[in-house]
């Protein structure tokens, strides 16, 4: 069975007056029906740009310069803006980190919910209103009929995020992309939102891409994990392997920076240095300036993506040292 989403060698570039800057490079991954893939990494690693590339919502100077994004049978990189408008909200939807910037402040909640249903499901206003009430009720918003008349600023942060989820799921998309949707929420509301997404995923059977830097969230919801650094994929594995046997030094660094509930007195370790930008010229591995295990080879030659098992890859020269000759390189 083919995956729901297949991204291959994705490259996203920004045009500037002086030069073109590649912010996402050689990114490949897939998502199956009913699966949750978590994309993790520090701010600036390229995880949100990867999501926006899939949605066709890149900033004005950004463009996809290489690669394929196959959603079912449709190649998204070949679609016009008019065609993408039919796909967005219908086959693939996105929940943004800050709903106040995603919701239109001068339109009521009801208008924004009905709009998606009327465009993609060809419902009349009355039918769309009934469905909107049903959706708000489903995402746990009390007095949904009254909420339809309100504006985003009249709702709490948790309420606005639930409205965003209702809009995103209005047309029961095949794929939901959630870009750090719980970052600005308190822990209680965060748990409710995660439970809600999981419940609706089970009900609809959609695939989910969850973008986050919170490894606690990853442990709770992920089936598979993709770790990004400097615009590249540096490790992919199922969630158990990531937490129990991480292979890339950057992945290990992320996990060591998370408090251990079983050992609260353990000192947290930080990753020295900062994430490189797309205009930073780094020879060899992009992580080597911050890596405690860097070898001379790491500074001279970019590592390939080593295939450690059918479900586990790592972009690190240490694999060449530690793995047997039976392991193969799958992509440079």
pLDDT one digit per residue (tens) for the chain, 332 residues? 789 999 999 999 999 888 899 999 999 999 999 999 999 999 999 999 999 999 999 988 999 999 999 999 999 999 999 999 999 988 999 998 777 778 999 999 999 999 989 988 899 999 999 999 999 998 889 999 999 999 999 998 889 988 998 998 888 899 999 998 877 677 888 888 888 889 889 888 899 999 998 888 999 999 999 999 999 999 999 999 999 999 999 999 999 887 766 666 667 788 889 999 888 989 999 999 999 999 999 999 999 999 999 999 999 999 987 654 444 444 44
User: Are 242 and 264 found together in one domain?
Assistant: yes
Residue 325's pLDDT is 44
DSSP-based three-state secondary structure for 95: strand
Q: Which two tokens stand for residue 157?
A: 């942060």
Query: Which residue's structure tokens are 């997404």?
Result: 197
Examine residue 97 and state whether it is found in any structural domain, yes or no.
no
Among the candidates 127, 157, 172, a domain finishes at 172
Examine residue 14 and state whether it is found in any structural domain, yes or no.
yes
Examine residue 205 and state whether it is found in any structural domain, yes or no.
yes
Whether 50 and 228 have beta carbons less than 8 Å apart is answered as: yes
Among the candidates 153, 172, 191, a domain finishes at 172
User: Are 304 and 228 found together in one domain?
Assistant: yes
Residue 265's pLDDT is 67
Query: DSSP letters of 143-192?
Result: SHHHHTTS-GGGS-HHHHHHHHHHHHHTT--SEEEEESTTTTS-HHHHHH
Give kind and range of the element (H or E) at residue 21. Answer: strand 20-31
Among the candidates 146, 172, 198, a domain finishes at 172
Q: Which domain holds residue 147?
A: 102-172
Examine residue 204 and state whether it is found in any structural domain, yes or no.
yes
pTM for this prediction: 0.91
Cα–Cα distance for residue pair 320/328, rounded to 1 Å: 10
Residue 143's pLDDT is 94
Count of domains in the chain?
A: 2
User: Are 250 and 119 found together in one domain?
Assistant: no
Examine residue 96 and state whether it is found in any structural domain, yes or no.
no
User: Are 242 and 310 found together in one domain?
Assistant: yes
Query: How many residues are listed for the chain in this entry?
Result: 332
By the 10 Å C-beta count (0-12 exposed, 13-18 middle, 19+ buried), 299 is classed as middle
Residue 88 gets which letter from DSSP? B
User: Are 23 and 53 found together in one domain?
Assistant: yes
Examine residue 86 and state whether it is found in any structural domain, yes or no.
yes
Examine residue 54 and state whether it is found in any structural domain, yes or no.
yes
- CATH code of the domain covering residue 266: 3.40.50.300
User: Are 130 and 237 found together in one domain?
Assistant: no
Examine residue 69 and state whether it is found in any structural domain, yes or no.
yes
Q: Residue 82: CB partners within 8 Å, gap ≥ 6?
A: none
Residue 84's pLDDT is 94
């Amino acid at each position: 069975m083919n995956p729901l989403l297949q991204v291959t060698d994705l490259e996203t570039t920004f045009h500037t007056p002086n030069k073109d800057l590649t912010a996402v490079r050689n990114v490949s991954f897939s998502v199956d029906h009913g699966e949750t893939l978590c994309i993790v990494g520090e701010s600036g690693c390229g995880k949100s740009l990867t999501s926006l590339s899939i949605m066709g919502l890149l900033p004005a100077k950004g463009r996809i310069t290489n690669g394929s994004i196959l959603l079912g049978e449709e190649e998204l990189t070949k679609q016009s803006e008019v065609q993408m408008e039919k796909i967005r909200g219908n086959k693939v939807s996105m929940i943004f980190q800050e709903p106040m910037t995603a919701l239109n402040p001068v339109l009521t909640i009801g208008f924004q919910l009905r709009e998606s249903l009327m465009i993609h499901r060809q419902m009349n206003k009355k039918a769309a209103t009934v469905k909107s009430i049903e959706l708000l009720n489903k995402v746990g918003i009390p007095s949904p009929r009254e909420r339809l008349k309100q504006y985003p600023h009249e709702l709490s942060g948790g309420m606005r995020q639930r409205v965003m989820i209702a809009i995103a799921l209005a047309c029961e998309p095949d794929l939901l992309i959630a870009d750090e949707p719980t970052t600005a929420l308190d822990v209680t509301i965060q748990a409710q939102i995660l439970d809600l997404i999981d419940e609706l995923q089970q009900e609809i059977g959609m695939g989910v891409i969850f973008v986050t830097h919170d490894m606690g969230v990853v442990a709770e919801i992920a089936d598979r994990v993709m770790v990004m650094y400097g615009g590249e994929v540096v490790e992919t594995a199922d969630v158990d392997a990531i937490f129990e046997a991480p292979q890339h030094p950057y992945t290990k660094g992320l996990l060591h920076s998370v408090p251990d509930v079983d050992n609260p007195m353990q000192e947290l370790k930080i990753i020295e240095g900062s994430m490189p930008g797309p205009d930073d010229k780094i020879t060899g591995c992009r992580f080597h300036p911050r890596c405690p295990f860097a070898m001379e080879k790491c500074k001279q030659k970019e590592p390939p993506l080593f295939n450690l098992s059918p479900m586990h890859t790592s972009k690190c020269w240490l694999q060449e040292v530690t793995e047997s000759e039976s392991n193969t390189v799958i992509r440079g």
